[in-house]
Each structure stands twice: as C-alpha cells, then as structure tokens.
Amino acid sequence: MQTVYIEHLGEVELYFGLGVEILTGLFLGGLVGYDREQKMKNAGIKTNILICIGATLYTAISMVLQKQYSVGLNAIDPTRIVAQIVSGIGFLGAGAIMQDKGNIIGLTTAATIWVVAAIGVTIGFGYPVIATIFTLTILSVLKLLGPIYQGFESTKNHRYYHIEVLSHGDIKNLVKEIVFNITDRIDELHEQIIDKETNKRHIDFYVYLHPKKMRIMGDELKDIVQVDRVHYHQIEGKSPTAE
C-alpha cells in the first residue's frame, strides 16, 4: 500500500494524505487570495488557490514517485521538481509586474505569488502545520505592516481629498491599483459614463492621506494614457471617520 508522510500523523494512506494536502492548499491559498481580492489586486482568490494547489500537487507527486522509484541510478530527486516550480513561478510573477511611464506596480503581488508557491511546496512535502504558520505570518505582513508603518508617520498633516478623473476609456481598475499602492483606504468610488459613443467616463472618489502622497498619486493618475483630466481638492473638516 502506498503511503505519504503527513506532519504529526506520520505515514498515512496515499489518498487520505493527498486529500489532506489538497484541502490545506485550497484553504491557505484562499486565505492569501482573499486578502489580495479585498485590495483589488490582479492575483485574487482563484489565482492564489491554483498556485498553492499546483505547487502542492507537483511536490506531493514527486515525493510519491521518489518512494516508488528510489532504487538505482534512476532514483527520482523531488528537489528537482521544486526547482522547476520556483522557475515557473518566476515567470508568473514577472507577468504581474507592470511599468507605466516609469511607475512600477505589482511587485507585492508578484512576491505574494512567489510565497504562496512556497506554501504549496511545504504542504506537498508533508508539513501542513508549518505551512499554516507561515501563511499566518504572510497575512500579518500584508494586513498589519502597512498600518504599523503609517502609525510611525504623523497623521496630523493628513487631509481628506476628493479626486475626480475624466477619461476616454474604462480605467477604474487601473485607478484602484494606483490608489491602493499608496493608501489602503478608498471611499465612495463612483464611475459615470458621460458619452457612450466616445466612451468618455467620469470617476470620483475620496482618500485620506498626506499632501505629498496626494501629489504623487495625482501625477500617476495623470500619466494614464486614457486620462484627459485629473482634479483634486481638500475637503475641510472631514475625516474617514466623520459622518
């Protein structure tokens, strides 16, 4: 009877062990993907689940084959499969990085893809508990590091801004990507089609951030090819917690 190794359970029956690993990969990949989905990133729940499960299966099957053909010069080395996973994920991560007139976005998404694959490899080798611990660590970095970093910055100079963008195409997702690279908070984002024939659109939303970052974000929005005009102004006496 073929078996696989599962942390704290030892050698278990093949199908039971693979089932545990696949479900763990599904759950942990979904946790990271849900965080990215909330922040409107390109690699969301489905992408991260598929990456995690794929890395898990490649590693788990290589371990099964290594046990089955572990005699002689043709013995299978499971670490060779892992090396190919790392190379393949590198190409996938590179596709998540975009450059637009000197502005590079998607680095965190690419790094997340890379780490999710490492989680899958860890599960495939039979260590779901360790993979869970690392997943919680990654989620802590993604969710808490930004607020902690912003906590060290003085918020007394932050202001509440109303931003309006006039474009001749659908750029809402790109606008969200630029905004979320600067701040984790965006309020009341609305899009209105002004002219259907020319696809002219008007987007307006609110953000709370430092004036310097507002200027940076405004310049990045203006650099979008489809954007005709960007206008923003400070709203006095209002904050994200104000009614």
pLDDT tens digits, 124-171: 999 999 999 999 999 998 888 766 666 665 566 788 899 999 998 888
pLDDT digits (tens, 9 = 90+) for 14-35: 999 999 999 999 999 999 999 8
123 pLDDT band, cuts 50/70/90, is very high
Q: Residues with Cβ < 8 Å from 94, sequence gap 6 or more?
A: 110
Q: Which of 119, 121, 232 is nearest to 178 (CA)?
A: 232
Percent of the chain with pLDDT over 70: 87
Domain ranges of the chain: 3-151, 159-234
CATH number assigned to the domain with residue range 159-234, chosen from the 4 options 1.20.120.420, 3.30.70.260, 2.40.160.40, 3.20.20.10: 3.30.70.260
Distance between CA atoms of residues 76 and 150, nearest Å: 49
- Reported pTM: 0.64
